[in-house]
A and B are shown apart, each in its own frame.
Chain A
Amino acid sequence: MKKKILQLILVLILFSGFNFQKIKYFTYPKYFPKPVYNFKNNFLDSNKIKLGRILFYDPILSHNNSISCASCHSPYNAFSHSDHALSHGINDEIGTRNAPALFNLAWQKDFMWDGAVNHLDFQPLSPISHPKEMNENFRNIVLKLSKSKFYKKWFFKSFGDSIITGERALKALSQFQITLVSTNSKYDRVKKGNESFNLKEKKGYEIFLKKCNSCHREPLFSNYQFSKNGLPIDKTLNDYGRVLITKNPEDSLLFKIPSLRNLSYSSPYMHDGRFKTLHEVINHYNFDLYKNENISPELTSFVPLNNHETVDLISFLKTLNDSSFIYNSYNKFPMELLLKMK
């Protein structure tokens, strides 16, 4: 009895001391908010993360085994795609949106540009089942995975038996994606007191705080809400954003606000990839915003930046690039895992 009470106390201590900043395989700086992802339902585990990484890079998730998650979410583009504005899927089908960058996903509640999915664990179902993306269903994926000795071994290592289910595959995918944490940009090093901004970056940071921070809120550089930023509708795509999901007319032209971290790696910009450079993006706010009255309230009083201010702002935005994230070998194509378990 005494022993049991002692065990209970130990367990309680362990749980009360459960510090979100120090979840195993998942760390983040003190100035970050608490993540919203519920780790209790999917405890991070080294093998599950690795399995998720293998799945992320495996075209087996698409109908004709030609497209993987990484086909559109490349590590060197902060897990977005830089070659084309609209994502190219199975059989070279072209979608209607720009593949978004993937990082700091544990802080996000809504996924996709229109917020169609509200849980990371279910997000992969969307691109997998989309006829222009991977055009596959999970029943078939489980059948394909179950034929592979390689995957049986990995599911055994990760879950204690070699039964392959869709839920397990999805949880493993989430685990890998959760570990895509980018918190080592120059901005972060300045925040930690290890470096300082140069003059342009400092001026740019002041402009950022005044003009951008209400939507692209630091330190994540997005509040992960939805906004109308005044982009004229592309008549070839007729994409009205969130209204497609909610059917609420007020949600017309609302798109998810992306993080500004890793901008230099994740060109092109906007939900349809219409802008290639940061100058083009900022010039939209500078010169084209007033042409469109249907914009979010945060933008109605936006005073255009002059040439120098635009350059200062871009100088600051470039401090949000995190090269250690881009070249992190744990995020790359899992060559070492494929070789080890042949």
Chain B
Amino acid sequence: MFKKSLTVLLFSLLTSTLFSQSPAITSWLQNTSVTGSYYNSGSSTAIGNGELVNCQKVEYSNDYVYVTASGIPSYTTGPFLDGNPSQAQNQNAIYKFPLNPQPNTGVTSNTTMGTIGVFINGTSLFNYADGVAWDNNTNALCGGPGNSPCSGNTEWNRDAIPAEMAGFDCSKGHPSGGKYHHHQNPSAFKLDLNVVSTICNLYDADGLYLIDSTQHSPLIGYAYDGYPIYGAYGYKNSDGSGGITRIKSSYQLKNITSRPNGPDVDHVITTTGPNGGQQTLFLGYFKEDYEYIVNSDEDYLDEHNGRTCVTPEYPNGTYAYFATVDENWNSAYPYAVNTFYGIYSNALVNSVSEPTTIYTSTVSNELIDLNYLNINIFPNPSTDLIAIQIGQLSKINLNIELSNSEGKLIERKQISAGSTIAYFNTETLYNGIYLIKISHLNGESVIKKVVINR
């Protein structure tokens, strides 16, 4: 009898430590040593900003998880070539998410300007909007930098993703008043199937993760209502069956040529300012150019841009948003969170106001199969540069060592958690065979051969 109850007790203890911890506690990338960097326009040399990257602390109570984050990613930020004078700055933010998020059965909560979710690296998710709209009284764009304020209701609101393309860095992010954020899927422009920005020509093609059409996307963040956000690919069916597929937005461009109380489609305006000039208000320039079309296929999302489904982190199912992309892997409206499925509250809080337990990440002690990371070393054979890129998301810091064929170390680099790329300049290496060793703290390592041949 006693023995049996002890077993039950032990079992419940075990389950409480092993199984009760929600992914909302364990998914955050924690870091208290690696600092970030940025690019100046025209220079592909990253410059340190001295700020800790990713999240600095995760703590939880019975009901909430609290995440302290600088808001600085471990991939290099910038440059922002639309005249944006801002740089990513430490936000010292504390975010509070419910551990048991609840669906909203009342009136849907719309997303607002500013942070509406947080990526696992502590950077902000914004919705589509950039604060610019069409003012039907003045027949001009209003709001945002360089425009006069909007008068009255705005019926046509600008979509930041096409409109601010020139200002996004290679990782599809930019800062607003120092707050670095993504409006969309946070992976490098250059690695999309169709590359729509030239920004990565000079700067590293880095981001939070790489889109991989063969694996379920990693959990990349949480919306302010407490539900998880995934990347571009997931299980076809919500019960986890059907294989891996691209999870699709159910929003489509309307078939219109004019906009009531707004400018016609393809109307051309002239703007002033540093990026002034002629601008065409093409179909897709405004949020209202899209409409929601119900699709019964399970890989199409609802009007919030999410669905209830099984994911690797939630084997029993959860409601989840997806950072949607099109068949070219270009960001697809409404990009991540359109409206909140759950009960919304502003997750940004000033302090932690209840007793909590600090969660120490165990990920660095876990056995990690480095082959799972799909390490890509290119070009091989190489001439002036060798890049090492991991296939999806790295939750750990990886050491990368370049040595000659006798094993003599030449240079050491790191791919920090939440970034994907490292490279060696090989201009001053003789032709020959070299070794790249990728390893992490618990000693596991992979060695790959590269050839330098000019």
Contact = CB atoms under 8 A, between A and B. Distances in A.
Most buried by A among B41, B383, B431: B41
Given A279-B383, A279-B454, A76 B43 contact: yes
Contact of B201 (A74, A83, A315, A326): A83
Identify whether the interface residues of B are mostly helix, strand, loop, or mixed.
loop
A327 B46 CA distance: 12
Contacts of B429: 311
Contact of A81 (B40, B42, B47, B428): B42
Contacts, number: 48
Nearest to B272: A65
A23 B329 CA distance: 58
B411 interface: no
A200 interface: yes
B444 interface: no
B42 A83 contact: yes
Given A83-B201, A83-B202, A279-B383, A74 B42 contact: yes
B427 A200 contact: no
Most buried by B among A81, A83, A311: A311
A77 B427 contact: no
A314 B43 contact: no
Interface in B108-128: none
A314 B429 CA distance: 10
Nearest to A332: B40
Interface in A306-342: 307-308, 310-311, 314-315, 318, 326-327
A69 to B, nearest CB: 14
Contacts of A315: 428
B82 interface: no
Nearest to A83: B202
Contact of A277 (B43, B45, B384): B384
Given A83-B202, A279-B454, A77 B430 contact: no
Nearest to B43: A76
Interface string B189-218: 000000000000110000000000000000
Interface in B45-78: 45, 47
A76 B43 CA distance: 5
B43 A326 contact: yes
Contacts of A82: 42-44, 202
Nearest to A76: B43
Interface in A41-90: 66, 74, 76-77, 81-83
A287 B139 CA distance: 62
A265 interface: yes
Nearest to B432: A307
Interface string B143-177: 00000000000000000000000000000000000
Contact of B428 (A66, A74, A200, A277): A200
A257 interface: no
A1 to B, nearest CB: 60
A278 interface: yes
A311 to B, nearest CB: 5
B430 A314 contact: no
Most buried by A among B201, B383, B430: B430
Nearest to A323: B45
Nearest to A311: B430
A314 B427 CA distance: 7
B428 A318 contact: yes
A77 B431 contact: no
Interface residues of A, number: 22
B160 to A, nearest CB: 24
Contacts of B43: 74, 76-77, 82, 265, 326
Nearest to A326: B43
Contacts of B41: 74, 76
Contacts of B427: 277-279, 311, 314, 318
Contacts of A66: 274
B384 A76 contact: no
Contacts of B45: 76
A310 B40 CA distance: 31
Contact of A279 (B47, B201, B274, B384): B384
Interface in B12-52: 40-45, 47
A268 to B, nearest CB: 12
A277 B428 CA distance: 12
Contacts of A314: 427-428
A265 B42 CA distance: 9
A77 B428 contact: no
A48 to B, nearest CB: 26
Contacts of B430: 307-308, 311
B13 to A, nearest CB: 56
A318 B384 CA distance: 13
A125 B221 CA distance: 54
A278 B384 CA distance: 9
A174 to B, nearest CB: 23
Contacts of B428: 200, 311, 314-315, 318
Nearest to B383: A279
B426 to A, nearest CB: 10
A76 B42 contact: yes
A283 B428 CA distance: 14
B42 A77 contact: yes
Interface in B410-454: 427-431, 454
Nearest to B39: A76
Contacts of A200: 428
A143 to B, nearest CB: 20
A279 B428 CA distance: 10
A278 B427 CA distance: 8
Contacts of B383: 277, 279
Given A200-B428, A278-B384, A327-B47, 6 more contacts: A74-B42, A82-B43, A83-B42, A277-B427, A279-B383, A279-B454
11 contacts: A74-B43, A77-B42, A81-B42, A82-B42, A277-B383, A277-B427, A278-B427, A279-B383, A307-B454, A308-B430, A310-B454
Interface of B: 40-45, 47, 201-202, 274, 383-384, 427-431, 454
